[in-house]
Amino acid sequence: MSDYHDRTYWRQCSLKTLIEQARDSQDELAIALGERLEEYEAQEETLADIMQENEDLARQVQSLAEDNAYLTKRLSLDLDEDD
């Protein structure tokens, strides 16, 4: 059996598999493309981390806004009682 695979096969492979196959090839173009894919994968992971951090911060902001609204209301009630 031949080691040749067509585009349909390669499209079904994971990014990790493509990177590994490119790195292990003897083709300079494939190696360079594999390196670019590795950079792309790292950027995707960084983006996912940033998006998660953004969601976490949005939840914290919402929580702080709710705390602020509660404290503002309490302060308003306390001032009304002093009158």
pLDDT surpasses 60 at 2: no
37 and 19 in contact (C-beta within 8 Å)?
Answer: yes
**HEC secondary structure over 23-47:** HHCCCHHHHHHHHHHHHHHHHHHHH
- pLDDT confidence tier of residue 75, bands split at 50, 70 and 90: confident
Q: Does the pLDDT value for residue 3 go beyond 70?
A: no
**Per residue in 19-73, pLDDT tens?**
999 989 889 999 999 999 999 999 999 999 999 999 999 999 999 999 999 999 9
- The pLDDT of residue 82: 64
